[in-house]
Amino acid sequence: MKKIFSTVILFLLTAFARTALKIHKPFIIAITGSVGKTTTKDMIAGILRTAGMPVRSSRKSYNGEFGVPLSIFDLPTGMRNPFIWIYVLCVAFFRMLFSMPKFVVLEVGLETPGDIANIVRWLRPDMAVLTRLPANPVHLENFPDKESLYQEKMSLLRAVKKDGIAVYNAEDDIQKMYIADMPDTISLRAFNSDSIFIEETRIHYDGHNPVGMDVVLSLNGEQEPFYIPETLGTGVVQSFIAAVTTIVNLYEVIPMQTIRRAIASRHPTPGRMRILPGYNGSTIIDDSYNASPIAMEEALRTLAVLEKQKKIAILGVMAQLGPDSEDMHRILGNMAEEIAHHVFVAGDAYYGNGPNTHYLKNHHLIVKKCKELADTDTVFFCKGSQIARLEYITEALLAPDTDPKKHLVRQESHWKREG
C-alpha cells in the first residue's frame, strides 16, 4: 500500500512539474557531479537573488526523483505523512497554474542506475553544470562500473535544450573524455580554462582563527578579487568558479560587483567545510554532510595548512565506494595520521592502525576526549558520510551561543527521530 501511495505521489508531482515548465517556461539551470553540487547551486541562486532576479532553487540537497519536482515548486517533503503529501500536492497544483519565477536552479543527483535518466525524460535545462567526476566516485557500489555512473551523470548535459549551454571543468580529465561527444547543438563553456581560472587562494585569518578565503579570479585577462566567508577548502573554491562561470554566460548581464557582493554576503551551506566557533575557544571545520575520497583528501589538505597547532580529525565512514572502499579508507587514514595530532574514528569505519588513530564507536566518548583537548589553539575537523551522523559530535562541540539549527546539517525533526 505504501509503495502504491508513493508511486501515485511521484507520478502526480512529476506531471505537475512537467506541466508547470511548459506553461511558464522558466530559465532552468541544473547542476550535477559527484561533489560540490549543493554549494554550486546555492552560490548560483544567491548571485541571482542579489541581482534582483526572481529565482527558485532546490531546498537543501533535494536532487532525486522526488526532490527535483519538489524544488520546482519550492515545497518540502511530506515524509511518511499522507496528509502532508495531500497538502503538498494541492499547493503544487496551484503553483503549476499561477506561480513560477524567471529562474529555476536545480540540483540533480543519483544513487542508482536510471535516476538521472528518469528525470531528464521531462526536464530539459537551458544550462547544465557539471562540477567534478572523480576517479573514485560515491554510489559506485550501486553501478556495474564507473563508466555507467559517469554516463548517467553526463545524461543531464546531453538533455540541455537546443542552443543551450553546458558548463564543465577543463581540468577534469574524465569530463573532457565525455564532453568531446556532446551534441553540436549545445554550446560548451569551461571553467579552470584559459579564460577563467583561479589565480590565487589564501586563507583569511582573524588573529590565528581562520574566517574565510581570499580568492583572485582571472576572467578574460582581468583579475577579480573575492572574499568567501566562513568556509574553507578547494571544494568550495571549485564550486565558486563553477558558479561564476555559469553566471557570466547567462543572457542576463550581472555586474561583477554584484557577484562579488553576493559571494561575500552569503552564509555557507551547512556541513560543507563550514567554520564554526567551538568549545572552550576552539575552532570547528564542519564537513559532516557527506564524504567521498576526493572530498576527504582535499579537506585534509586544507587542515594541513591551517595555522592552528593542535589539529584533531573526527572521521566517519565513506559509504558506497564499492570494491575500493577498504583501500580508500586506509590511504586517507594514513594521510589523516600525518596531518592531525589525533584522529578519532566514529562508528564502524576503519582508517588504519596509526599510533594517533583512536576507534571510539560511541559518539559521547569522542566528545568527551575532544573537550579535554579543546582550547584556543585547537581545530576540530569533522567529516563522514551521512550514515555516520557526525553532526551530533559537531553539535556537542559547538560554542554555547551557537545555534545548531542555523549552522548544522540534518536538524529537522525527522532526522532527530532517525538518529
Tens of pLDDT, residues 248-269: 999 889 999 999 999 999 999 9
Q: Is the pLDDT of residue 80 over 90?
A: no
State the average pLDDT over residues 389-418: 91
Among the listed residues 343, 328, 410, the one whose alpha carbon sits nearest the alpha carbon of residue 373:
343
Report how far apart, in Å, the C-alpha atoms of 79 and of each of 144, 157, 238 are.
30, 30, 33
CA pseudo-torsion sign 185, 249, 169, 137: negative
What backbone phi and psi angles, to 5 degrees, belong to 231?
Answer: -155, 160
Q: Is the pLDDT of residue 419 over 70?
A: no
Q: Is the pLDDT of residue 70 over 70?
A: yes
Cell of 339: 596531518
Cell of 307: 595555522
- What's the half-sphere exposure (Cβ side, CA atoms, 13 Å) at 8? 9
Whether residues 290 and 252 fall in one domain: no
286 forms bridges with which residues in the sheet?
A: 274, 382
Q: Which residue has the higher pLDDT, 134 or 105?
A: 105
Confidence of residue 220 (pLDDT cuts 50, 70, 90): very high
pLDDT more than 70, % of the chain: 99
Instruction: Report pTM.
Output: 0.95
Whether residues 48 and 191 fall in one domain: yes
Residue 265 in any domain: the answer is no
Q: For position 72, what pLDDT does the model report? A: 97
Q: For position 140, what pLDDT does the model report? A: 82
Among the listed residues 253, 257, 254, 242, the one whose alpha carbon sits nearest the alpha carbon of residue 196:
242
Whether residues 113 and 23 fall in one domain: yes
Residue 202 in any domain: the answer is no
Residue 360 in any domain: the answer is yes
Whether residues 65 and 125 fall in one domain: yes
Confidence of residue 37 (pLDDT cuts 50, 70, 90): very high
Q: Is the pLDDT of residue 2 over 80?
A: no
**Whether the Cβ atoms of residue 289 and residue 270 lie closer than 8 Å to each other:** yes
Distance CA 417, CA 356 (A): 34
Q: For position 1, what pLDDT does the model report? A: 58
Q: For position 139, what pLDDT does the model report? A: 83
> Look-up: residue for cell 543531464?
156
State the average pLDDT over residues 47-62: 92
**Whether the Cβ atoms of residue 137 and residue 292 lie closer than 8 Å to each other:** yes
C-beta atoms surrounding 102 within 10 Å: 14
Angle between helix 325-339 and helix 293-305 axes, rounded to 10 deg = 0
Among the listed residues 117, 218, 207, 132, the one whose alpha carbon sits nearest the alpha carbon of residue 167:
132
Q: Is the pLDDT of residue 405 over 80?
A: yes
C-beta atoms surrounding 122 within 10 Å: 16
Q: Which residue has the higher pLDDT, 1 or 329?
A: 329
Whether residues 155 and 279 fall in one domain: no
Q: What amino acid is encoded at 248 in this protein? A: V
How many structural domains is the chain composed of? 2
DSSP string, 114-163: THHHHHTTT---SEEEE----SS-TTGGGSSSHHHHHHHHHHHHHTSPTT
Whether residues 31 and 173 fall in one domain: yes
Residue 201 in any domain: the answer is no
Q: What CATH number corresponds to the domain at position 162?
A: 3.40.1190.10
Whether residues 403 and 295 fall in one domain: yes
Report how far apart, in Å, the C-alpha atoms of 112 and of each of 130, 149, 165, 344 are.
18, 9, 26, 31
Whether residues 164 and 48 fall in one domain: yes
Q: Is the pLDDT of residue 179 over 90?
A: yes
Query: pLDDT digits over 305-328, tens only?
Result: 999 889 999 999 999 898 889 999
Q: What amino acid is encoded at 200 in this protein? A: E
Max CA distance (Å), the chain? 62
Residue 215 in any domain: the answer is no
Q: What CATH number corresponds to the domain at position 380?
A: 3.90.190.20
Whether residues 304 and 363 fall in one domain: yes
Residue 203 in any domain: the answer is no
Residue 227 in any domain: the answer is no
Distance CA 282, CA 279 (A): 6
Query: pLDDT digits over 324-358, tens only?
Result: 899 999 999 999 999 999 999 998 899 999 999 99
Instruction: Give residue 14's Cα distance to chain centre.
Output: 24
Q: For position 414, what pLDDT does the model report? A: 76
Residue 221 in any domain: the answer is no
Stretch among 137-146, 149-158, 180-189, 291-300 having the lowest mean pLDDT: 137-146
Query: pLDDT digits over 356-388, tens only?
Result: 999 987 899 999 999 999 999 999 999 999 999
Whole-number average pLDDT of the chain: 94
Whether residues 281 and 249 fall in one domain: no
Whether residues 248 and 369 fall in one domain: no
Domain span at 349? 274-418
Distance CA 243, CA 225 (A): 15
Q: Is the pLDDT of residue 413 over 90?
A: no
In the DSSP assignment, the letter for residue 213 is E
Give the gyration radius of the chain's Cα atoms: 21
Whether residues 44 and 189 fall in one domain: yes
Q: For position 4, what pLDDT does the model report? A: 87
